[in-house]
Chains A and B, each alone.
Chain A
């Protein structure tokens, strides 16, 4: 009897294949967000875990839900959070633009080079990816600091007398983000540009179009999906970036990832940290959904090429 029920309900074949990862992601990706949402509405208290439960048994029968919007009110009222959000968006936006300006010519040059060198160049772009991101950010400390490589070189050449303060500035954060996320920009752009039908450019040439004009009128518009994918891959994680501003930025830099970290680890205020996370997520949900649609469309397109 029980065996029959089990047999009927137990997923088989295809259903089983999709059910296993589905359950995993449901439990370890979706449910956690619901818990974050729940805790963002609760009160902090000095205990472990340091927050009060939302649900109280008032008497034996009544279950009282106590929602506390105080954490969100706190975020709205305190200027610090607004500034941190806006500053994060500004830094991520500028870095994304810089990545695009640097990555586009590289991706273009890679896609238009000989087929034999193409794979080597691609490998060279991916290779830094495999070495530690943390250690590559660390490398910039030695390059940018006051007695670092750049300042030493400039002073040895007699161009400057005093070292230029570069470490612990926004400039260093831009460098760090562009450096770390550049491959994320190049790879989708390259994939897009490499697929492009070059006969279109020949046709334009036959019809008397100058190469520069052909680039602006044909190549650039056709590469927009690659640009969007690359920009989203850089922008979304960069908004919440913590390691780069912590290592290269000013100690007082206002970025939302750092604020969340401080609330959680230094102030031990889990409810406010949760509220910060929810607010960040609300802001990112539209770009994330857009990214997913583009990603799914792109993944399905390669079939039967």
Chain B
């Protein structure tokens, strides 16, 4: 019986991960294909990478997307951290329900609605106060901050809920002001959560085609917008090359982040052990004395 269940679990994992990874692997394999037909193997070639590097439209769009993603992820982390703090630490306050509602709704809101509503806001604001004048990078950044901060909020809030509030209380008892407590105690502890929130916000922004299509002006096409219009016309191998580069960057980033985090965790564990040992010693010396 036990054996049968193990077998079932292994099988479901194998099938599930095959489903998740075969498309990605096929993208990578066919990016090195000589033939223009994406799915017929015509020999090994790296010419699509060369074609990608020569494609000025894609390069411009990629540069714009990277700038938008970096700026919006940074601001989204700042705002998301504030929201997460307010929701996890402040107890009930006036407007809490509304804040939590507005902070989590973008997680599931269909992108077409978010995109349309933000565009209409920008148009109305331009009519009323003249800002933002026209649409472009600024409007894309604002839109991306708004929907990415929801993800950061959830990550920060659940990280804050997991760790012991007594650490913050102890610092406060020892006379630290709230801002100091935040920067010296809370922030270092939740830092890994902020990092993963930043990375998630960055990739969400780098990935978004629907919202950006609504709020971008005529002259500002982000990378996903260019890719989307190209892909709608059919498969093309240079897009496979682009996908392979992105997968490689993500894989390297995840491995580096994983190594750094586990090293930090080891240091923290060692510190905790040393503190425990010191405590023990103190107690024993007190007993003797």
Contacts and interface: CB of A to CB of B under 8 A. Distances in A.
A305 B160 CA distance: 12
A304 to B, nearest CB: 7
Interface residues of B, number: 99
Contacts of A69: none
Interface string B154-166: 1001100110110
Contacts of A289: 101
B24 A295 contact: no
Interface in B234-289: 234-235, 239, 242-243, 246-247, 250-251, 253-254, 258
- Secondary structure class of chain A's binding surface, majority of residues: helix
Nearest to B83: A21
A232 B106 CA distance: 13
Interface string A99-137: 000110110111011000000010111011111111110
Interface string A184-224: 00000000000000000000000000010000000000000
Contacts of B178: 13-14
Interface string B161-186: 11011000000000000100000000
Contact of B30 (A142, A232, A247, A260): A142
Contacts of B40: 147, 152
Contacts of A149: 26, 39
Nearest to B90: A14
Nearest to A294: B104
A242 B210 contact: yes
Contact of A131 (B24, B39, B98, B209): B24
A148 B235 CA distance: 11
Interface string B9-46: 11011001101111110110010000001111000000
A171 interface: no
B190 to A, nearest CB: 13
Interface string A29-48: 11111011001000000000
A32 B250 contact: no
A124 B232 contact: no
A147 B105 contact: no
Nearest to B159: A302
Contacts of A288: 105, 108-109
A49 B123 contact: yes
B187 interface: no
Contacts of B88: 299-300
B100 interface: yes
Interface stretch (A2-10, A58-66, A79-87, A272-280): A272-280
Contacts of A304: 164-165
B9 A135 contact: no
A296 B104 CA distance: 9
Interface in B209-236: 209-210, 213-214, 224, 227-228, 231-232, 234-235
B50 interface: no
B207 A134 contact: yes
Nearest to B30: A142
Contact of B103 (A21, A110, A243, A305): A21
B23 A243 contact: no
Contacts of A132: 203, 206-207, 224, 243, 246
B121 interface: yes
A179 B20 contact: yes
Contacts of B120: 32, 35-36, 39, 270, 274
A303 B157 CA distance: 10
B118 interface: yes
B64 interface: no
B99 A25 contact: yes
A112 B9 contact: yes
Given A131-B246, A138-B239, A292-B104, A240 B146 contact: no
A103 B98 CA distance: 32
A226 to B, nearest CB: 14
Nearest to B247: A131
A296 B86 CA distance: 13
A14 B98 CA distance: 16
B37 A147 contact: yes
Given A18-B90, A25-B102, A142 B39 contact: yes
12 contacts: A25-B102, A30-B102, A109-B10, A112-B9, A128-B24, A132-B243, A145-B39, A149-B26, A243-B209, A277-B113, A292-B104, A296-B104
Q: Which 4 residue pairs of A and B lie closest in terms of their CB atoms, listed nearest first?
A: A240-B110, A32-B117, A105-B12, A139-B23
